[in-house]
Structure 1
Amino acid sequence: MTGYRDRERLAELWSAEVDLFRAARPESEKLWRAATRHLPDGVPMLWMAKWPGPWPVYVRSALGAHFTDVDGIDHVDLCLGDTGAMCGHAPAASVRAISEQLAKGSTFMLPTEDAAVAAELLTERFGVPSWQFTLSATDANRSLIRYARQVTGRRKILVHDYCYHGSVDEAFATLDDTGAVVERRGNIGAPVPPSETTMVVPFNDVAALEAALSTGEVAAMLIEPALTNIGIVLPDDGYHDAVRELCTRFGVILIIDETHTISAGPGGMTTTWGLSPDAVVVGKSIGGGIPAGAFGMSAELAERARRSLELEDIDVGGVGGTLAGNALSLAGVRATLSEVLTADAFVGMTARATEWTAGVQAVLDEFAVPWQVTQLGARAEYSFRATPPRDGAEAAAADDFELQQYLHLHALNRGILITPFHNMALMCPVTTTADVERHSLAFREAVSSLYA
């Protein structure tokens, strides 16, 4: 646990921050109250109600690493759409390409030149040569799971405990205290018990991984190369070598979901760490702010998948959608990969994340706070434990929702946005040292209010 035990003080601090929020954001309140007539909790998706404070902040405009809300408050955006705006808000090259394509038509159910160029750019980054495009990383993961089952004839998918892969049903599984596969807390309307579709192993546990794969039931192992949605959990030395060897030995397709871990570099952890997956998934960031996802396959997997499909039935087999691979998304992907999220951009993004990490660590050291901070390229995150977690269960055990909400609201009241789901900060190509320093100062004030 966090070691922070003065819950009465935390409640008082929270109440004071709520009062500050209410006083500063009357226009957001007006829009929210009007929205509640037709939107549950006044938001277009219920998870948006998780933002700290009595109502959500309404955005008026955004550019680069900043946005302005309807009350005229400028914010440093360190959430960046939980990676969806990793390229920054309204990047000029992406906006230009998207606008030009929108004026020419957005969707045709036919390819454009941008599709092949985007696939070539992804091949150069991730090393797998055969690509398909979707509207989200969730769609890409679902498609690869289907292909894996199709070509292997096996039913089950293996995931890490406390993983996150979008709204993929198979991934909402975790381990209980006895080691049994059960629904992850908060799973909404599961179609079947997850034990029917999924095996789960702790991150960094090679013995458990070998035991699961040796059953011969697993079609694919779907992983983030580092956990990112339960706090950042990095792999042990040699863990990915073991993953690759065991998947090869037991005929299991290895799918690496780089949707968040692309923060490690232009080719995500796959390239930065020299990994060798059978398939790669990317999403969110690659479209320049509009819905886009993609999955890449090795030549062997692509051939096996294509050979297994009948042309007559290829449109009704459960892979793809009418708007998947549309011209507008592909224009955004091409421009974003070639002109915005470049190798040079990642140098600056990673440097800003290093500054952010150092700023957080300095505050933790100053006040002797038993928390830790971990960085993954352009992304960094602190958690309420003294040492970095080795698996998802350790990370989850350190969670403290009330403390997290206070820290997030405190930051928001000082014009700094971090993701509402955990304590993560992400840098975009135009995040500045001054932006990072704003967070460092606010974070020191927040920690001082708790520990001084």
Structure 2
Amino acid sequence: MTAETIAGISTDRLAAYAAREARRYAQGRPKSADARSRDAEAWLDGVPMHWMRDWPMPHLPVIAHAEGARITDIDGFGIDDFCLGDTGSMFGHSPKPVAKAIRRQARHGLTTMLPSHDALEAGRLLTERFGHYRWQIATTATDANRFAIRVARAVTGRPKILVFNGCYHGTVDDTMVELRDGATVARPGLVGQVQDLTRGAVCVEFNDLAAVEAALKTGEVAAILTEPVMTNSCMVLPEAGFHDGLRQLTRYYGALLMMDETHTLSSGLGGYARVHSLSPDVFVAGKCVAGGMPTAIWGLTEDLAARFAAYNATRPPGHSGMGTTLSANPMQFACLRATLGEVMTAKAYARMEQGAARLSHGLKKAIDRHHLDWHVVRVGARVEFTCAPGPLKNGAEAARAHHPAVEAALHVALLNRGSLIAPFHNMMLVSPATKKAQIDRLIASFDEILTDLCPKD
């Protein structure tokens, strides 16, 4: 009888290995365990933010310090950080220009509801980095996407947003749909959902231009909202001609094209759209644009900004459903200016891409050496290994490529060996502060883990 396997690994061996690594982790971090047991009950479900429960460790480490590409927990473990706040600290923890800007601005006020000198300079730098858009500031990319969706509906008079199956654009209700048996439905995990989300959204598969056109032909779609590369599932790359097709179809059918580059800013200076000469109507990014300070940006092309101005001229004054009081505060602008001007540079990206290429190559060699039918994907500074064959074409394939038990064991085992990767999928980022030795340690640990999981007969 053939032993059962998951992603080419014996289930019995995987279970034993995962249990052993979990014990090793728990035994090595008594201070974090004690702190969690004493203080966690104050928080709903034991954590200050629910997604912290997505980490696969027996208990969370309590972090004492984060700097560059290194974090240290209260048990004294130094950890090479390839998660980097799930992109929030893509350029490293507390870049010196950002830390300096925070100290300086803290002496001059935190929030005023009025622009600062840094705001004026940040606007110029945004255009220099990302292109000629008319910009707005938000606190999160979720907010930025939500506000941009309102603009799209306002100027087109259409109700629906087209998103791709398996996408994630923050906690925006309009995008919390999936494709099931060819129909758009609300995601089953949504909390407290009472409205019919299909009235405002339609979902199709990534890389399927025929399905996109069929949806646009209805005349109901105000905009397509997409990442240039699907990153919030197992990473899915666009096929040749896909982005050109989206641009042509949206123009033909009178819909807008919105690109959420919150994760794909890893692609290079100016993001994926600028690197690949794409021309969205709306550009959205968050997380790392202000060096880790909660900040997001969204911009409209000049033509779209003029259309929105014409709409606004006929709108009665009052609550617009856009904007939050703490957004566009002086601290955000100080950090945004420092990041755009001194941290997010061509030199930084060159170093990041060189390191990411080294990481990608090393992971591929380890996978090949152990004869696993897995694959590695890289987009600029972002690298992922997927425990399934590739490349993947769409969200449905990406969902099937997930193997939570395998991934959880790998994540804990890597952390036990000093490397942290993102909890949501097998994402790794290389920052300008990441050293070759850190990359090589991760590769060596990955190879060691696979050697234990895939012994030679």
TM range (shorter): over 0.9
Of residues 375, 379, 382, the one that matches 1:376 is 379
Distance, in Å, in 1 between the alignment partners of 2:268 and 2:317 is: 35
1:40 to 44, 67, 71: 44
Contact 1:2–1:385 (8 Å) recurs in 2: no
Farther-moved stretch of structure 1 (117-126 vs 311-320): 311-320
- Check if 1:201 corresponds to 2:204: yes
1:308 is aligned to: 311
1:312 Cα offset (Å): 8.9
Amino acid at match of 1:76: D
Paired amino acid for 2:425: H
Task: Tell me, in whole angstroms, the C-alpha distance in 2 between the residues paired with 1:314 and 1:147.
Answer: 16
Specify which of 20, 27, 32 is matched with residue 24 of structure 2: 20
Counterpart of 1:446 in 2: which secondary structure?
helix
What is the 5 A alignment of 1:63-74?
63-74=67-78
| Range with greater deviation from structure 2 (147-156 or 113-122) | 113-122
Distance (Å, rounded) in 2 between the aligned partners of 1:106 and 1:396: 42
Q: Does 1:150 align with 2:154?
A: yes
**Cα gap change, 1:315 to 1:339, in 2 (>3 Å):** farther
2:425 to 422, 426, 429: 422
Contact 1:35/1:43 (8 A) holds in 2: no
CA distance in 2, matches of 1:217, 1:2: 43
Match of 2:367 in 1: 364
Match of 2:356 in 1: 353
How many residue pairs align between the two structures?
451
What are the Cα deviations for residues 92-123 of structure 1, in whole angstroms up to 9, with x where unaligned? 00010121111100110001121222122121
1:315-354 to 2 correspondence within 5 Å? 316-354=319-357
* Partner SS state of residue 93, structure 2: coil
Shift of 1:311: 9.8
> What do residues 332-355 of structure 1 show as CA deviations (whole Å, max 9, x unaligned)?
011011101111100000111111
**Residue 137 of structure 2: aligned partner:** 133
What are structure 2's unaligned runs of at least 5 residues? Answer: none
By how many angstroms is 1:313 displaced?
5.8
Q: Which residue of 1 aligns with 2:262?
A: 259
- What do the CA deviations read for 1:166-211 (whole angstroms, capped 9, x no partner)? 11111111101x2000122422222422211111111100100110
Cα distance 1:283–1:193, how it changes in 2: closer, same or farther (>3 A)?
Answer: same
The answer to whether the Cα contact below 8 Å between 1:2 and 1:384 also exists between their aligned partners in 2 is: no
Distance 1:106 1:337 in 2: 20
> Distance in 2 between the 1:235 and 1:148 partners?
24
Residue equivalent to 1:222? 225
After superposing the two structures, state which structure 1 stretch, 49-58 or 330-339, moved more.
Answer: 49-58
The equivalent residue for 1:49 is 53
Change beyond 3 A, Cα 1:149–1:261: same
Q: Is the 1:182–1:194 contact (alpha carbons within 8 Å) kept by the matching residues of 2?
A: yes
Give the match's secondary structure for 1:37. Answer: helix
Match of 2:291 among 266, 288, 303: 288
SS in 1 for 2:390: coil
User: Where do 4+ consecutive residues of structure 1 move more than 3 Å?
Assistant: 310-315
* 1:66-89 deviations in Å (ceiling 9; x for gaps): 011000100000000000011101
Give the root-mean-square deviation of aligned CA atoms. Answer: 1.4
Tell me the residue number matched to 1:170: 174
| Separation in structure 2 between the aligned mates of residue 311 and residue 140 of structure 1, nearest angstrom | 23
Determine the C-alpha separation between the residues in 2 that align with 1:315 and 1:139. Answer: 19
Which segments of 5 or more consecutive residues in structure 1 lack a partner in the other structure? none
State how far apart, in whole Å, the 1-side matches of 2:138 and 2:279 are: 22
1:287 Cα shift? 1.2
SS in 2 for 1:281: strand
C-alpha displacement of 1:2: 5.0
CA distance in 1 between counterparts of 2:194 and 2:107 reads 41
- Choose the corresponding residue for 2:110, options 106, 115, 140: 106
Q: Could you tell me which amino acid in structure 1 is paired with residue 392 of structure 2?
A: P
Partner of 2:65: 61
Matching residue within 84, 90, 93 for 2:94 = 90
Letter of the 1:79 partner, please give it. C
TM-score, with length taken from structure 1: 0.97
Cα distance in 2 for partners of 1:409, 1:315 equals 51
Asked if 2 retains the 8 angstrom alpha-carbon contact of 1:65 and 1:431, the reply is yes
| Alpha-carbon contact 1:340-1:429 (below 8 Å) kept | no
**CA distance in 2 between partners of 1:220 and 1:22 (Å):** 48
Give the conservation status (yes or no) of the 8 Å contact 1:370–1:386. Answer: yes
Of 11, 16, 19, which residue of structure 1 is paired with 2:15? 11
2:246 aligned with 1:243: yes
Counterpart residue type for residue 415 of structure 1: G
Question: Per-residue deviation at 1:329?
Answer: 0.6
